[in-house]
Amino acid sequence: MMVGKEDVGLSLSLGPGLSIPPRHHFLAMPHWPTDLARGRLRGIDVNRPPPPAGDADEEEDAAGAASSSPNSAASSVLSGGAGKRDHGASYCSDEDGDGSRKKLRLSKDQSAVLEESFKEHNTLNPKQKVALAKKLRLRPRQVEVWFQNRRARTKLKQTEVDCSFLKRCCESLTEENRRLHREVQELRALKLSPQMFMHMTPPTTLTMCPSCERTSPSSAPPPPPPLHHRRRPIAALASLLDAPPPRSSSLCIIEE
DNA sequence: CACTCGCCGCGACTTACATCA
DNA sequence: ACTGATGTAAGTCGCGGCGAG
């Protein structure tokens, strides 16, 4: 596993009643894929055992990458056998005919190569995909799936980072709100003794956006923020903390 | 030029299985 | 040996881009 538990374990629930519903809530039966109906699997025997490395891969790719083909996991075997620890791309076919879905595990070497490739470019063009598949003795479809899942993991991780960052922003703003409330109370109390008021420093800090030179706070109800403020909310919020925004978020830090 | 259609890649969501504590 | 949690390969669906007709 390349991602620590602390990275992945974070729930995306936004609080009571605010969890994100799944997009599909259907009972996903292992039904015949709609891709067949869509005609994506032209001339492909989806139950075909994996071809010897470097012959049929291009054929499959040329036939439309066999997107979403069932049992496509029938992979070649790199190190053979499903060992317990270093399970080398364990065999995965449907040849026993029980219709069960076998689980493929990529070997450490395969994962490492894929990871390296992902670092270079997180998407693959068809040529790169085929080349990588050939190198790893996998099907192009498997490489494609690995990259899709890898992108999904990356995005999830980034979402979690953003989420925790927003949480800290929220806490910071709450604290700031409390502080300002206390300040208002103090000022109201001081109204009773105006001579003390002269020794006060300005109660709040004005912030100015360098782009539009708009200042805040204002006594009037605030107008909607200009577009360049809204573009990257997380980055904008970063200014509220003494911390840089998460990696993917940038732009429009309202400097104080 | 606008349109329809099929193909394709991808993201989102989900399931099934392997592994570990 | 069993079990629940976790990670991940792969299936499914829907959408958008693109080229052909």
Distance CA A59, CA A238 (A): 50
Q: Are A216 and A207 contacting, i.e. CB atoms less than 8 angstroms apart?
A: yes
pLDDT at A90: 41
Distance CA A136, CA A89 (A): 10
- Strand locations in chain A, DSSP E? 207-208, 215-216
Buried-state track A154-186, b at ≥16 Cβ within 10 A, e below 16: eeebeebbbbebeeebeeeeeeeeeeeeeeeee
- Strand C contact at CB of residue A155, distance < 7 A: no
- Strand C contact at CB of residue A22, distance < 7 A: no
* CATH number, domain A32-154, options 3.30.2320.80, 1.10.3720.10, 1.10.10.60, 3.90.550.10: 1.10.10.60
- Please give the nucleotide, over all strands, whose C1' is closest to the CA of residue A104: C9
Report, in ranges, which bases of strand B sit under 7 Å from a protein C-beta.
6-20
Q: What is the DSSP string of A8-64?
A: H------STT-PPPPS--S----PPPHHHHHT-STT--TTPPPPPTTTSHHHHHHTT
**Closest protein residue to B9 using CA and C1' atoms?**
A67
**pLDDT averaged per 10 residues in sequence order, chain A, 256 residues:** 34 35 32 33 33 40 36 34 37 44 81 93 91 92 93 90 89 96 93 66 53 48 45 55 53 29
Task: Note the CA–C1' distance, A55 to B13, in angstroms.
Answer: 34
- Strand C contact at CB of residue A68, distance < 7 A: yes
